[in-house]
Amino acid sequence: MKKNCFLTINSYENYFYFLVWSCAIIYSVYQFYLANNYFNDYNDAYGDFDSGWTWVGKKRDISDQEWLVWLTLKDKLIPYVFIHHFISQIIKINSNNSTILCCWYILSSIIFLYCYLGPLGILCTLLQPSLFYILTCMCSKNKAWIIHISYLFVMYILKIPNGIFQSWLGITDKEHYILTLILCWIHLRSISHNMDSHNDQFSESNNFIQKLAYCLYLPTLFFGPLILYHEFIASINQQHQYWNCQRFITFTLQLVRYMFWLYLTELILHFIYINAMQYHLQVVQNLNSWALYGLGYCMGQFFFNKYFVIYGTCSNLCYLDNIKAPSQPKCIARVHLYSDMWKYFDRGLYKFLIRYIYVPIQTSKGYIGKLFASFLCFTFIFIWHGIQINIFIWTLLNYIGIVIEDISIAIGKSKQYRKMQNTYLSSRNTKRLHCMLASPLLAMSAISNFYFLGGQEIGNIFIQNMLHGSWKSLFILLFFLYCCCQVSLNIKNWELHRVKR
């Protein structure tokens, strides 16, 4: 009887945390929505808005370049992707030769790139993986890493708007953005190919046609997600699985799911101008605490929605080709740890960092080796995303957060702590203590992401609000974040329990 009563109390407490966290999100978003009245009579000199959907009767925020480019590419890619998959199936049915299949993967991407970027765009996309293939054959792994990192600095120069690279190609700003985006993704894939080719287990897969097909694979060419080279090769070399009714149903249901979130996100951008607001620092500076936190949450949620749709759709297209791609990210509203955010948001990039940087560096070097390996991972992230102050602050705060987590885990595993925990704390109180300690870390995690998503000035505004605000506001914020930690742990435990069943 007591056990059932205890479980009921725990259930009510968990419902309370979920209700409080949900209400905090809804109220803060509502406060931010009210602040959007600033744009009612706004003179849109920079093209941040369009007329929106006719039936909604409100203008739509289109100021996020990545989202706008994705929407444009989505419509243009549809016929090419259809032909890509149709001919891929014909090849698989009539031939079990992976080389022929890879040649088609290359050709289908070249056809689209020619129609969209022209001959010079194709030249750039073919030249990069070809040069790095030669590098694989000539250099050791350590020398190859030095060249790869050096090329990241070259990429930083190539990405400069209206720079020498764009002028030489004679392309528009949008085409320049897309081309440099392709080159960045190709570079990650080139590193994956290079490192796997130096691995004795996969050295036989060091095939130029396969490498080129991997780098130019159409469903993941523009926005990912990142599939590691050895996974791609294993997928194309596996026994062909014919399309059947069940596969089509699964593909269709998943596609409907991602399209639902795409159009829901578009609908929200008619009412909540998340991205346009970030360009108006004075307005953001004058927001009250609730509206500011609402902006922060909306920034993170929009970023999640964007990549949930992009990664999910591209992974679903890979599913039709029997190519195993990373699954979509987990919602940011239910993740409270730095390590889980990195592990479950961009799973392909996470596996890349673990396989090619973290594990080779930290092996048999103890705790210092782990710290150094983590440092190199975040250094790579900083250089790849762009050498800017806000990116540096974001990666630095993330590194500090990971280090704090590692230290906390080490303390939690110590005999002294376990003895004290078993003596003085129940399992429920232990969970409460852990959530209390994790709340300030979650606040730092959120602020680091605001630097990444909104830029240095936006991040500074959040820091100033926390440091110069009242103790009452800070306490309320930490309480809501504590509720978030409880919700996150409950969902995590539920998922683990479901897997075990």
Tens digits of pLDDT across the chain (501 residues):
444 443 444 688 999 999 999 999 999 999 999 999 999 888 888 899 999 999 999 999 999 999 999 999 988 999 999 999 999 999 988 887 889 999 999 999 999 999 999 998 999 999 999 998 988 778 888 888 999 999 999 999 999 888 889 998 888 999 999 999 999 999 999 999 999 987 755 555 568 999 999 999 999 999 989 999 999 999 998 887 788 899 999 999 999 999 999 999 999 999 999 999 999 999 999 999 999 999 999 999 999 999 999 999 999 999 999 999 998 899 988 898 888 899 999 999 999 999 999 998 887 667 788 889 999 999 999 999 988 999 999 999 999 999 999 899 888 888 888 888 888 888 889 899 999 999 999 999 999 999 999 999 999 999 999 888 889 999 999 999 999 999 999 998 888 877 665
Query: Residue type at 174?
Result: K
Preceding peptide of 225 cis, ω within 30°: yes
Three-state SS for 441?
Answer: helix
HSE of 84 in the Cβ direction (CA atoms, 13 Å)?
26
Distance CA 75, CA 53 (A): 17
The candidate with the shortest Cα–Cα distance to 61, out of 205, 366, 274, is 274
Cα separations (Å) of 255 from 155, 169, 223? 33, 36, 17
Query: Residue type at 437?
Result: L
Distance CA 73, CA 314 (A): 12
CB atoms within 10 A of CB 475: 10
* Neighbour-count burial of 200, counting CB atoms closer than 10 A to its CB (0-12 exposed, 13-18 middle, 19+ buried): exposed
Phi-psi region of 118 (alpha: psi -120 to 50; beta: other; left: phi over 0): left
Cα–Cα–Cα angle for 450, 455, 456, rounded to 5 degrees? 95
Report residue 227 CA to chain centroid gap.
Answer: 13
Which residue, chain included where needed, has tokens 């004795």?
Answer: 200
Three-state SS for 50?
Answer: strand
Residues 6+ positions from 139 with CB-CB distance below 8 Å: 147
Report residue 241 CA to chain centroid gap.
Answer: 30
The candidate with the shortest Cα–Cα distance to 258, out of 313, 307, 326, 303, is 313
Rg of the chain (C-alpha set): 24
Q: Which two tokens stand for residue 219?
A: 């469903």
